[in-house]
Structure 1
Amino acid sequence: MSDAVLFDLKDVSKKFVKGKEQITIFDGLNMQINEGDFLAIMGPSGSGKTTLLNLLGGVDQPSSGQISFDQKRIDKLSEGQLAQWRANNIGFIFQFYNLMPMLNAFRNVELPLLLTNLNSKERAKRVENALKLVNLADRAKHMPNEMSGGQQQRVAIARAVVSDPKLLLCDEPTGDLDRKTADEILETLQLLNNEFGKTIVMVTHDPSAAKYAKRTLHLDKGEFVTQADTGATQGVK
């Protein structure tokens, strides 16, 4: 894992207003993630796991504090700038795949590339490579309803990596899968981390899934309460 800091969160607070009540998710959170890290985030429901992913992905903005990516602040970007930044740097993987049911695997994987300046031949080459990476080259023309849950999630992973992002954000990526299929998905994520240098942040409730990460952080009430290493150097403070 590189020593270069990819993400730097300084005194980040996040608050929501619900009716007359103000709910504080984070209050003065500090965190660093190094390039090449594979980080699992665990914690009870309501601890702030998904909110943290949304902040890292620029889907949500902090109420106060600073969030820097590759030494550039993203908390000050406009919505349009954030959309472009996400397209260039972030791949999202969700629990329920979020595939377009009317598009085949090839077209689903191609979707992020439609926002780029690549021509159709260049897009096709990238899609083919991404499907090969997840061992689904032979399923390119299959529709989502013609594939198993594990195959659909692998299509989702191919879609997430097709634009070659620096960071993959995974929200319960194996939560809807059986153990064997979940392990196959997690091995794919490990491959992307070890062989292709992708930085990965994965929210999970499953200790077995967390073991595939280099490190695990536990969130509770918006704070990191314990930390366990599974073999990597430190990257989150």
Structure 2
Amino acid sequence: MPPEQPLVQVRNLYKSFSRGSETIDVLQDLNLDVGHAEFLALMGPSGSGKTTLLNLIAGLDQPTSGTIIVGDQVISEMSESELARWRTRHVGFVFQFYYLLPVLTAYENVELPLLLLPLSRQQRRKQVETALDLVGLSNRMHHRPGQLSGGQQQRVGIARAIVTDPELIVADEPTGDLDTRSAHEILTLLETLRAQLGKTIIMVTHDPKAAARAQRVLHLEKGQLVLDTAASPLLTAEA
């Protein structure tokens, strides 16, 4: 695809949920482009639709109407089974509470997404070790989550997100459960993944300092985009 074409294109997006006889409009006629290797932060009050938008772009949910294109795939037209296959190869997920399996080592947690792909054990080992090396945890690969700090657990989560080499990483409050130092390290790692590996990152956050580390900040209010600003260099330096 032409390099000038955005990686993510959202057009006339609506998302509604039913609660009894009531219809709740979460996203309304939303349009958005996200470029290749862009680090985008989504902000807004609780209930504004941030996580709903993130889930739609990541193929975890389907819109009520509208179009979502990621790469050259119109994911808004995919079935649930097609979305599941697409997510495995094209999207990496980073969560606030890590969602690591406590009985598995860091290596085994990172390996999990690869078990869905037709890879040999040797191929899986190479990709897992590469991912753990990228996040600086090669010396912790045989430790279980309970033996790791919060920041280290989130690094395992990021290694799991990138182990399939997806072009898109979606992060939902990735620093929300971390202390200031660990949060700074995780944001620096996300910046490195964008700058050195060309990953496109969409991050939901309530923290203005975390958002300032992104290249662009979008604000949602009642399901609509209300502000589009570039991240402040001053805030980035102080984050």
TM range (shorter): over 0.9
> Quick one: distance in 1 between partners of 2:120 and 2:76?
32
Matched with 1:139 is 140
Name the count of aligned residue pairs.
231
2:47 matches 1:79: no
Maintained 8 Å contact 1:215/1:231? no
Indicate the structure with greater helix content.
2
> Quick one: distance in 2 between partners of 1:165 and 1:71?
14
Matched with 1:179 is 180
Maintained 8 Å contact 2:29/2:224? no
Gaps of 5+ in 2: 234-239
Deviations 1:116-148 (A, max 9, x none): 111001100111111110110000100000000
Counterpart of 2:219 in structure 1: which amino acid? H
Residue 230 of structure 1: how far off its partner (Å)? 2.6
> Quick one: distance in 1 between partners of 2:216 and 2:35?
12
Q: Which moved more, 1:222-231 or 1:112-121?
A: 222-231
Kindly, what percent of the aligned residue pairs are identical?
A: 52
Matched with 1:207 is 208
What's the C-alpha RMSD, in Å, of the aligned pairs? 1.2
> Quick one: distance in 2 between partners of 1:231 and 1:43?
18
Counterpart of 2:225 in structure 1: which amino acid? F
Deviations 1:67-119 (A, max 9, x none): 11113211111111100100010000000000011100000000000011110
Matched with 1:68 is 69
Matched with 1:235 is none
Matched with 2:166 is 165
User: Which portions of structure 1, spanning 4 or more consecutive aligned residues, are displaced by more than 2 angstroms?
Assistant: none
Counterpart of 1:129 in structure 2: which amino acid? T
Deviations 1:31-81 (A, max 9, x none): 111111100000000000000011001111000111111132111111111
Return the TM-score normalized by structure 2: 0.94
> Quick one: distance in 1 between partners of 2:4 and 2:193?
18
Return the TM-score normalized by structure 1: 0.95
Gaps of 5+ in 1: 233-237
Deviations 1:189-234 (A, max 9, x none): 00000010000000000011011110000111011111111389xx
